[in-house]
Amino acid sequence: MSDKPGNEISEEEAARHASKMAKKKVARDKMMKTKDGEKGLIIVHTGPGKGKSSSGFGMIMRCIAHKMPCAVVQFIKGAWATGERTLIEENFSDLCHFYAMGEGFTWETQDKARDIAAARKGWEKAKEMILDERNTMVLLDEINIALRYEYLDLNEVLEFLVEHKPAMTHVVLTGRNAKEELIEIADLVTEMGQIKHPFRAGIKAQKGVEF
């Protein structure tokens, strides 16, 4: 431990740290030389924690920042006025097509046939956007919920992603309870955990945080 005050370190500690980081850089550079491939990824954000859609929209904003065409298809939250939708439609509609196809959660519509019809319509639009090779990325927001409630045929979705998705197109699928079969074919899967949530303390969904 350094006897220097505050955050100061000794010359010996500085040299030891520099040597350690130099070795780490050599190992890292060697590893990165083997990582030169590119492909369109199937990306799944799932789990009970907050941030699945937010992360997906973060990647969409990266695409927009790089001037890369992209698209969003919302399967559940289409009835909501969200900040993401407003931002994209008012400022970046030339780069990102935004389709709000859902009508709310199933307990709000209370009409299964209507929910299924909305999901099917959303899936047809999703396929159209994915097959359009001008789109670098397509975000299928909350599609995992539609699959969970069997509003969409899981095998059809899997077959399309495996057999028909263009090689360089990224597809992001969000929503809790992602199907194991979807996780199996995905290239990148992140599970959002929940440790604390304000809803449990009586705090409602708030603008700028949830929507």
CATH number at residue 106: 3.40.50.300
Q: Measured at the alpha carbon of residue 133, what is the angle toward residues 68 and 57, in degrees to the nearest 5? A: 45
Residue 203 placed within a domain:
no
pLDDT of residue 108: 56
Residue 16 placed within a domain:
no
Domain of 144 in residue numbering reads as: 44-193
Asked whether residue 2 carries a pLDDT value surpassing 50, the answer given is no
Residue 181 placed within a domain:
yes
Asked whether residue 4 carries a pLDDT value surpassing 60, the answer given is no
Greater confidence (111 vs 153) lies with: 153
Residue 110 placed within a domain:
yes
- Residue 26 in tokens: 């050599």
Q: Judge contact between 69 and 134, C-beta under 8 A.
A: yes
Residue 10 placed within a domain:
no
Residue 199 placed within a domain:
no
Give the model's confidence band at 112: pLDDT under 50 very low, under 70 low, under 90 confident, else very high: confident
Residue 177 placed within a domain:
yes
pLDDT of residue 187: 98
User: What are the tens digits of pLDDT across the range 13-62?
Assistant: 878 887 887 777 777 766 667 666 799 999 999 999 999 999 999 999 99
User: What are the tens digits of pLDDT across the range 146-202?
Assistant: 999 999 999 999 999 999 999 999 999 999 999 999 999 999 999 999 888 877 778
Number of domains, the chain = 1
Residue 91 placed within a domain:
yes
DSSP notation for 80-127: S--HHHHHHHHH-TTTEEEEE---S-HHHH--HHHHHHHHHHHHHHHH
